[in-house]
Amino acid sequence: MTQSPPPMRELPYINDTSGLFEPLAGQPWAVFLDSGAGRMKQGRYDLIACDPMLTLVTRNGRTEISGADGAVTISREDPLRLLQSLLRQYRIDSRDALPFSGGALGYFSYDLGRSLERLPVIAGDEDRLPEMAIGLYDWALVVDHQERRSRLVGGGFDPRTAASWSRLTECFSSLPAATPRVPFRVTGTVESNMTRQQYADAFHRVQRYIRAGDCYQVNLAQRFSVTTQGDPWLAYRQLRRLNPAPFSAYLNTPAAQLLCSSPERFLQLREGAVETRPIKGTVARGADPAEDRRLRKGLLRSSKDRAENLMIVDLLRNDLGKSSALGSVEAGELFALESYATVHHLVSTIRSRLAPGRDALDLLRGCFPGGSITGAPKLRAMEIIEQLEPDRRGVYCGSIGYIGFDGNMDSNIAIRTMQHIDGRMRFWAGGGLVADSVLETEYQETFHKAKAMLQLLQTEYSPPGSASGGAVPDLKTG
């Protein structure tokens, strides 16, 4: 069925969207896509939604589809094909002024790649997180920080939307009082699943694979974890202050709470125009302005980092080509520098036009998981990652975002992302290894990328009397 432009209500603009999400943060399937606007120049739109009319949760090739009425069905269909067929049942005309007017919101984990490629099963799977958790949302609050406008939009497919329209309008018309919450705190020591020596052994194995011609680049990551108590939403509010990023998110799924402060766009599709912005090339921020300028200039001149970035640009050009109009794929901007709270990055932009007869799910399938966090060639890099990393990645290096009923999409690469499950917080940091990578530089880069998350846990919420103040180069082995 196809709808005309869905209902929309203009609401008072409130610049702190996190305050509007506050009373919803604990609700099942509550989603906050956070652009970091007001704390950095790249952000613009924030999205809030909860109470989906349908949810899809995939584990081990089996997807549970749950309706708001409690009805549950099971499908063993390919999860991306299943989502594609469901979205085609709900169509609305696009609104040029809005990025989203209802549709799918949620995550695709890195391990969803197992449904697309045949991979070995070696790494541990302690969390057993669903490979996909997606809700179909009939309404959303869209906050445009550039135009300073807030709009409540509804798809008109779920009769509950009309019944709750007045309540939703009232809810988002002013900042609510703070919700009582159990204080968040860390109750243990942050641990890594690799010692320095184990990381070094994995690094050298990657170098041997590269010399043998198996691959050109492999993204190698270590996982950090710590026990916690209390409400993770409070931790996210601190994380977004410490490390604002344009593709941040907080998701309260039944299996986990996700705290994401990603700087990287994976795939955007808007009226047939496609964009991806891979990050490759990283250096830590300097301790003072002079050092920061020196490090920034060094990154821009680094032939190693530029080569690493170009490898992934080529990979993504090929991936985009699977669903793009012939001859439309172009690398528009290479090696642009972007600066964040703890690091500088090199970012390239690749654009194309969607081919006739293709849609957002075709595009996602052809590019997933993102090449910037696997390596090249992609399948061989993923096989090596499975051999060398002790644990599955879960949402890390997967993607969080939306696919609208209007066919538009925007999604991130889920880096700088924390998984909170049953009182334990886990997060990862890694980097791309190439032939001329230096062990100590690459190892330290993982701590630079994890700095804000380590600071959050080791300083903001550390147990009384514990050590604090940044990353310890050789953490306890998990």
DSSP 372-397: GGTEESHHHHHHHHHHH-SB--TTTT
The confidence score (pLDDT) of residue 5 equals: 52
Query: How does pLDDT run along the chain (478 residues), one tens digit per residue?
Result: 555 556 889 999 998 999 999 999 999 999 999 998 766 667 899 999 999 999 999 999 999 999 988 899 999 999 999 999 999 999 888 777 789 999 999 999 999 999 998 999 999 999 999 999 999 999 999 999 999 999 999 988 999 999 999 999 999 998 888 788 999 999 999 999 999 999 999 999 999 999 999 999 999 999 999 999 999 999 999 999 999 999 999 999 999 999 999 999 999 999 999 999 999 999 999 999 999 999 999 999 999 999 999 999 999 999 999 999 999 999 989 999 999 989 999 999 999 999 999 999 999 999 999 999 999 999 999 999 999 999 999 999 999 999 999 999 999 999 999 999 999 999 999 999 999 999 999 999 999 999 999 999 988 877 655 543 334 444 544 3
Token representation of residue 107: 């995550």
Contact at 8 Å (CB) between 207 and 433? yes
Tally the residues of the chain: 478
Write down the pTM of the prediction.
0.94
Query: Can you give the C-alpha Rg of the chain in angstroms?
Result: 21
- Amino acid 471: pLDDT: 41
- The span from the first CA to the last CA of the chain, in angstroms, equals 51
Give the Cα separation of 149 and 400 in Å (integer).
24
DSSP assignment of 122-161 equals -SB-SS---SEEEEEESEEEEEETTTTEEEEEE-S--HHH
Alpha helices in 143-243 (DSSP H): 159-171, 196-211, 232-242
Coil vs helix vs strand at 114 = helix
- Give me the active site residues, please: 264, 280
Q: Which alpha helices (H) appear in 287-351, and where do they start and end?
A: 289-301, 303-321
Contact 447, 474 (CB under 8 A): no
Supply the pLDDT for residue 297. Answer: 94
Helix (H) or strand (E) holding 92: strand 91-92
| Strands 91-92 and 409-412, sheet pairing | unpaired
Q: What are the domain boundaries of the chain?
A: 2-477
Q: What is the 3-state secondary structure (H, E, C) of 405-468?
A: CCCCEEEECCCCEEEEECCEEEEEEEEEECCCCCHHHHHHHHHHHHHHHHHHHHHHCCCCCCCC
- DSSP lists the bridge partners of residue 273 as 270, 353
Strands 217-229 and 185-186: antiparallel
Q: In the CATH scheme, what is the homologous superfamily, with its name and number, of domain 2-477?
A: Anthranilate synthase (3.60.120.10)
Q: For residue 108, what are the CA distances in angstroms to 255, 396, 451? A: 13, 10, 25
Among 56, 136, 142, smallest CA distance to 90 is for 136
pLDDT of residue 97: 77
The predicted pLDDT at position 477 comes to 42
Place of tokens 């008109």: 156
**DSSP at 113:** G
